[in-house]
Homo-oligomer: A and B are copies of this chain.
């Protein structure tokens, strides 16, 4: 048995008042008398009234929905981000709808279109690996729908970026390896198309330069950064002459895959090769030796991005904030402690 939806009209009729008063009461308009207000709430409860968001949205032209577009959902980092977004959004009465670009530009374009047609109030985006430009977000900019990029960002004068200082983090990671005595440091990363990879590469180079170590193209190993790709990278490393003595990897998963493979080949970590990863994924404290890595606070990234977006939506002055840079830090564990070993 499907019961019919109760509307404010039904309540009004039952109480012999106008629907306007009901609407006002339900929206906590202080102008309604305490008494009527109570009668209305009681009746609403009793009759099982529920607000029709569509009718409201249709009028108010707002949706209370935040769109989220991410490359992939199934990484520890990204779920932490989403968790942060959800928490903040929910506490502010926003819902989130999520879609994945699967690292593909065209899927990202399609997702953006869907979000646009769903009239999200705002958008949180981490760009696909594959994305060449951000023209597909123009419709949002044109309509003043706030778009915030996080982690994988692109500069745009009408949007804010939330991320960490990847260059500095990479610089410190590399510097740490150098200070531990490494001279031949390999950097495993993805094709440097996105900021996260170019910046990390830049930080790596900077640290080398600053310590007068010559940058060698062949020490940059390009990979998809999955755990299995780490094993493949290990192959390459094992063929290098002379053997590298340090590896800085752009992500923990890959670092761990690489370490496991190298250990299987008899390499001692950190004595023969020291390792630093990126993200501070839970695996970092499982692999042996535990992985030195850059703590990248996913939950906070998500929470801050969402908070910022909602502030925009609530009409907070759009300080021309370009970027919000969260703190990251190098967490030193045993995988890099050459000196102590």
Copies of this protein in the assembly total: 2
Shortest C-beta distance, A286 to chain B (Å), equals: 5
Q: Cβ of A86 and Cβ of B100 under 8 Å apart?
A: yes
Shortest C-beta distance, A48 to chain B (Å), equals: 8
Flag the segment in A19-27, A70-78, A146-154 that touches B. Answer: A70-78
Shortest C-beta distance, A65 to chain B (Å), equals: 8
A82 and chain B: residue at smallest CB distance: B73
Determine the chain B residues whose CB is within 8 A of the CB of A208 once the complex forms: none
Residues 258-284 of chain A, each 1 if its beta carbon lies under 8 Å from chain B, else 0? 001000000000000000000000110
Q: Cβ of B50 and Cβ of A58 under 8 Å apart?
A: no
Determine the chain B residues whose CB is within 8 A of the CB of A57 once the complex forms: 54
Beyond A53-B119, A98-B96, is A86–B73 a contact (Cβ under 8 Å)? Answer: yes
CA–CA, A65 and B55, complex, Å: 16
Chain B CB within 8 A of A253 CB? yes
A252 and chain B: residue at smallest CB distance: B286
Shortest C-beta distance, A253 to chain B (Å), equals: 7
CA–CA, A63 and B54, complex, Å: 9
Q: Which residues of A contact B (CB under 8 A)?
A: 1-3, 50-55, 57-58, 63, 65, 72-76, 78-80, 82-83, 86-87, 90, 95-100, 114, 116-119, 142-144, 227, 253, 256, 260, 282-283, 285-288, 299
A-B contact pairs, 23 of them (CB 8 A): A3-B142, A53-B117, A54-B55, A54-B119, A55-B58, A65-B97, A72-B83, A73-B83, A74-B79, A74-B80, A74-B82, A74-B83, A74-B299, A78-B79, A79-B79, A83-B100, A90-B100, A95-B114, A96-B97, A98-B98, A282-B283, A283-B283, A283-B286
Given contacts A75-B79, A253-B282, 8 further A-B contacts (CB under 8 A): A3-B142, A50-B119, A54-B58, A79-B82, A96-B97, A97-B97, A286-B286, A288-B288
